[in-house]
Structures are given as C-alpha cells and as structure tokens.
A and B are shown apart, each in its own frame.
Chain A
Amino acid sequence: MMAREKMQILVCGGTTCSDGQGEAVFENLNLEIEANALENDVHVVHSGCFGLCSMGPVVKIVPGNTIYTKVSPDDAREIVSEHILKGRKVERLLWKDPSGNTLVKEDEFAGQKKQLRIVLRNCGIIDPENIEDAIAHDAYAALSKVLAGMKPTDVIQVIKDSGLRGRGGGGFSTGLKWEIAYKNKADQKYVVCNADEGDPGAFMDRSVLEGDPHSVLEAMAICGYSIEAGKGLIYIRAEYPLAVARLRTAIAQAKEYGLLGKNIMGSGFDFDIEIRYGAGAFVCGEETALIHSMEGLRGEPTVKPPYPAESGFLGKPTNVNNVETLACISPIILKGASWFAGIGTERSKGTKVFALAGKINNVGLIEVPMGTTLREVIYEIGGGIRKGKKFKAAQTGGPSGGCLTEKHLDIPIDFDNLTAVGSMMGSGGLIVMDEDDCMVQVAKFFLEFTVEESCGKCAPCRIGNKRLHELLEHITKGKGTLADLDRLKNMCLVIKDTSLCGLGQSSPNPVLSTLENFRDEYEAHVSLKKCPAGQCKDLMEYFIIEENCVGCTACARVCPVGAITGERKEPHHINPDICIKCGACMEKCKFDAIIIQ
C-alpha cells in the first residue's frame, strides 16, 4: 500500500461540461476505493468547477495537485490502481496543450482558465475592514508609485495607452476623459466615483465596494493627482448599507494612515474623499443627473455639452468614473499599460465583470477578458441553463440594452460587437432566459422599469414609454393586432430620436431588440392569440389529457374556483370560463395529465 499520507480525490460536479458524467466518475472512484479497502486513507469529494470545462470531467488528486482531464467512469479503476496504489501518473488522462506540452499540476492550467480576475482580485481575499490586510495585498502601492515620480501627464498617458474604457455603460476612453479634465484649469476640481449601480441584476460595483473598498479610494486619489483635483466624492445608493459602512471604515483608516488627506506620503498632494448618498433613482447613474443630485437639485439630466469635465459639480471641472473602471486603475499603474492592453480585443481592453442572473446554473459574478464569447460565459463558466432547458436569449445592458440570441452565442463580447448587434455592454448585467420565457413579457418587464424611472421632464419618455407599455400589455392580453407591431416599432423610433437623455433614448431598446429577434413570437401573440412560451396568462388554457387522467380528484380539490369537474376514477375536465389560470391543478397532478395550450 503506497498511500503513506491521506489522499484526496476531488471530482468536479460540472453538470454541462460532462453531461453529468462527473457523478458516475465519483461513484466509480468510491467503488474502487472500497474494493481496495482504502476508505480510511483516500477520500473522494465533490468539488465545484475548475474552470476547465472543455476538458471535463476533471479529477484532481491531492497531494500533488495532479489534474486528470476528460475522465470517464471507466477510468476510475486505472486512477486508483496506478496513481493511488502505485504512485504512477496515468499518462493518457493528462492534458496536452496545442503546442504539445503535457500539463500535470493544477497551477500549470492557469492559462487554460477562462476567467481572469483584475477588478475582483481582492474580493473575498482581504478583510475590507482592515487596511493592513489591503496594504499586504498591494493597496496604495500604485498611488505611492505615482506620487514618487510620475507627472500627472505621465499617469494620463499610461491610462490612455492601456486602452481602458468606462465600465459604466458608454465605454468612453478613461484616459481621454482624464486628459480633458486635466486640461480644464480651475481652482478646484472634483473626482466623482459613480457607485449608483441601477441596472436590474447587476451587482459588481457593490461587490467591489464591499470586498475591496481601498482599490476604489486609491484609484480616486490617483485620478485626483492626475487631473489636479483635491476632492473626491463617492455617489452611492443608500440601498447599499454594507458597502457604505465598509467605505466609511476604509476612508477613516486611509486617513489615519495618511494615505488620504493632507500631504499624502509626504508628496505635498492633498486629497480627501467624502460620500454622497443617492436615493436609488436609475437616471442618477447618468453623470449630469448624478452631479445635480449631489448638488441637492433634482436628479435630472441636462444636455451635454457642457461635459462634466468642463463644468461639473458646482460648475467646476469634474471627472466621473464608475466603480469597476476605478478598480482597474491600480493594476494598470503597477503592471503597466502594455500588460492591460495585451488583454482583450483590439478596441476593448482588459476584462469585464458580468453579473450572471436568470435561468443559469452558476448565478453570480464572473470576470473574463473582453472578447470571450457568450457561449463560453453561459455554458462553461455559467454552468449552462437551469434544468437542462434550451437557451433562448440573454439581456445585456439592462433596461437600456437588448437581447442576444442563439445566433450571437459565438460573437466575442466587447463594447463594439455588442453595439453592432443592437445591444450594449452597459454595466455588465447578463440576464439569461430559457425556452419558458416569453419575450413580449421580457420587453414589458424592462419597460415597466423605465416607466417607473422616467423623471417626466420630456414628453417622449414620460408619455411615449407609458403608451409603449400599454401596447405591450394589450398584446400579452391577446388584444393586439398585426398593425400594433408596426405602431410599436414606430413609437420606439420616435422615443429614441426625441428623448432628452440616455434613459429615454435607450428605453425602447428591449422592445426593438425583441421585436427584431423574436418577431414570430410577437406575431403568435397577435395573430394566433397564443403565447409560445406559455407565460401570458390571458392566452393560455389549462387542459386535461383524458388518457393520462386517472380521476384521482386531486386537481378538483385544489382548484380555488371550482372549475374542474369529473367523477372519481373518471377523466376530469376544466371549464375555461371559470378557470383563473392559477396553475394549482398542474402542480398537484402526479400523472402529467394537465397541460397548457
């Protein structure tokens, strides 16, 4: 028996990469361990995804961190007899990369992993309430490098060369933004961190502020030095109490350490940061509205120009950057512009954090280099669609964006490619929809959000979106006509062209994009009065298949309105005139006799 110390075998429980083979591998390994009476020396455990899904199922053996790839249930015997008992590697299960190198240990696989963490580098790693932990992980090292020997113009050049573009939505060059603010001379300038994260489903900014607040504070100070601003303001939603608390602690600690405040690290540079609270209005994520809100005015956008870089907070030059953008700054300063510019696509550099939500297995935050495809994001990193259903669409850019469909699965995701297919990057919310989602309802959901959030200043947005919503409501109730689809489109275009700010200009996007990609679904609603996904209540009819019904009466007993009749042990019937389509009968039926038509 070779197993001198306790060994552990980790089996990835990936559901998609391996068609569920992982579980069979796990069971067979356990059987082999038992057959060799090794239960006390070797343990087999389930693990999460290694991020090596194209090589799955993956098995890792500790100690040694050996990774076996594409393991089939039949390989269990050889792994136990060779590796565990004789200490010999099973050569044929080791991974060979395209250039012919054999990868053995887990660290050697780093290059094969789809995710790269720049923005999230310290999230979950450092204690956000302990500045020493942050300093140990290189917090303020970039600021000290800047203060020790870089001129403001040097820093701006580095950021420009890195190709960093704003992560909050538009994708404007960050370096250029800083340069404009630098060139506008004034006695006081401001650096504003936009932490008014409003897209439904997006929460990367919250996670960064909660997990690594110093990275944002440091970047704001670097920006302040570069554009010659002495004051920083963080505009954050009051709905993020934990992020606010951790920011406050971080600011206090940074001041105590002299990393914010007067004469930072003896350089003569003064920079102070304060927090301003937003009430969570979506439009306040737009920079002019955000600035007005901070000034104590109504959070309404104004026409640009003048840009905030010319006349922003209190009429002074102001640079507004989003949290995720700021979180990229320190690594760029420390590792250089060319390092950052080497990641991503030609015109979109670096990584992007996406918040995966909806019908996807691994809900949460991921960070991938720009140019990763939607297929990789959904099927590899995201673990695929829940319950093995079929992918239908993914909404990016929140209520201002559009949906990507099956035909977009292999497009490299970056700013320009998303715009080209009628969606947008936005802040990185990615809501995944499966075959059971009705796209008219999806469009209606996002429009509901905009109608609620419209500030009411201009008529196209205030009235137009409301009318759009009514039309969609009409369609989902089965009262729409084919002509309504054209009206829908026309109205969208008018709202887009005539609204005052980005909120109104982008609000029809979900409608336009679903209309474009799923016209057949809209048509089914208006001409056939059917909802293909079975989501529009008014268009559905619950129906009992006589052959499957055994007459158990369970459905009749659970029906709250008494719409189901039938004798015991005889097929039952649903009276559509009484049925309120609550679905209770379908849930109760054990014989799959009730269907939606």
Chain B
Amino acid sequence: MNAVKSPEELKSIKAGILKRMNEKETVRVKVHMGTSGLASGAREIYDFFRLELEKRNIQASVTSTGDMGYSFAEPTLEVKRPGEDPVVFGNVDKLRADEIIEKYIKNGELVDGVLPANYRTINQ
C-alpha cells in the first residue's frame, strides 16, 4: 500500500473499498471477539463457522470484531445475508451455531437468540 497523499485520495480509497465490498457480496459472519466474547468461548464459535461453512460448501466470509457490549449474552455474532439487514444473535453455543447455519444462513429462517439493535446510531 502506498501512503495516502491527500484527503481526496482517502475519499477515493474509501469509495474503492465500499465498491469492492458491495461487488462480491456473500454471507458475512462477524464473530464478536473482544475480551468478554473470548472469555465466553467466541474463539470456538469462530473456528466452528470457518470450518463448518467450508465443509458445507457455503460461500461466506467470517471475520472477528470487538464486542458490542452485550456481555450478558456472549458469545454474540452478526450474520448478514446478501441484500438483507444484518442480524445479531446472542448466547451462541455450537448447537445454536449449527442452527444458524442450517436455518438462517441457508434458508433465512431466524432462530432464537436474536438481539435487536436496541440503540440509535449517529446516522439516524
């Protein structure tokens, strides 16, 4: 990566990143892996998704992020199906992770443990 040389260049880099992200839209799984997530087993869930999605031949990206603050429901994760709003699930153990793959990722069928956005964002 060459250094960003001007504020305009940063804008075009941002536009480029957004374009790339939107072009190859697949299922996106973000496992919340801050300290509280990891302490409740988020690493295992992350590995489970990486392994199982590949095994089950599902095109998806699995990444790790920080915590959303839902310590009471860790491990938590977010799943975004192409063209749909992201959904956050809480208290995800392997059983629920399996359910999320089989029901939600494959068929768009929600499972227990949905954590709705109970907050406003700065752009609302």
What residues of chain A have their CB less than 8 Å away from a CB belonging to chain B?
A: 6, 8, 10, 12, 43, 45-52, 60, 62, 106-107, 110-111, 113-118, 120-121, 123-130, 132-133, 135-136, 138, 140-141, 144-145, 147-148, 203, 206-208, 210-212, 240, 242-243, 246, 256-259, 261, 265-266, 331, 335, 353, 361-367, 381, 383
Contact = CB atoms under 8 A, between A and B. Distances in A.
19 contacts: A43-B109, A47-B114, A116-B121, A124-B76, A125-B30, A126-B65, A138-B14, A140-B10, A147-B7, A207-B66, A240-B35, A257-B4, A258-B2, A259-B10, A261-B3, A265-B5, A266-B5, A362-B72, A364-B73
Q: Which 7 A-B pairs have the closest CB atoms?
A: A211-B66, A258-B3, A51-B118, A365-B69, A124-B68, A115-B119, A364-B71
A130 B63 contact: yes
Contacts, number: 188
B58 interface: no
B114 A51 contact: no
B69 A366 contact: yes
- State the main secondary structure of chain A at its contact with B: mixed
A12 B113 CA distance: 10
Contact of A256 (B1, B30, B68, B112): B1
A367 B118 CA distance: 11
Given A121-B122, A210-B66, 16 more contacts: A46-B114, A49-B118, A51-B116, A110-B124, A114-B118, A123-B67, A124-B30, A124-B88, A127-B64, A144-B7, A148-B7, A206-B34, A211-B34, A211-B67, A266-B5, A361-B72
A154 to B, nearest CB: 15
A48 B1 contact: no
Contacts of B107: 6
A208 to B, nearest CB: 8
Contacts of A43: 109-110
A124 B35 CA distance: 12
Contact of A116 (B9, B11, B120): B120
B118 A115 contact: yes
Contacts of A135: 10, 13-14, 17
Nearest to B90: A48
B119 A116 contact: yes
A113 B120 contact: yes
A125 to B, nearest CB: 7
B3 A257 contact: yes
Nearest to A58: B116
Contacts of A335: 122
Contacts of A381: 118
B60 interface: no
B4 to A, nearest CB: 5
B122 A118 contact: yes
A124 B66 contact: yes
A50 B2 CA distance: 44
B51 interface: no
Contacts of B65: 123-128, 211
B19 to A, nearest CB: 10
Contacts of B78: 124
A62 B10 contact: no
A575 B113 CA distance: 49
Given A144-B7, A210-B67, A48 B114 contact: yes
Contact of A10 (B13, B32, B116, B117): B116
A362 B119 CA distance: 14
A133 B63 CA distance: 11
Interface in B77-105: 78, 88, 90
A148 B10 CA distance: 11
Contacts of B30: 124-125, 127
A175 B17 CA distance: 33
Contacts of A51: 116-119
B110 A8 contact: yes
A110 to B, nearest CB: 4
B118 A48 contact: yes
A43 B111 CA distance: 8
B66 A46 contact: no
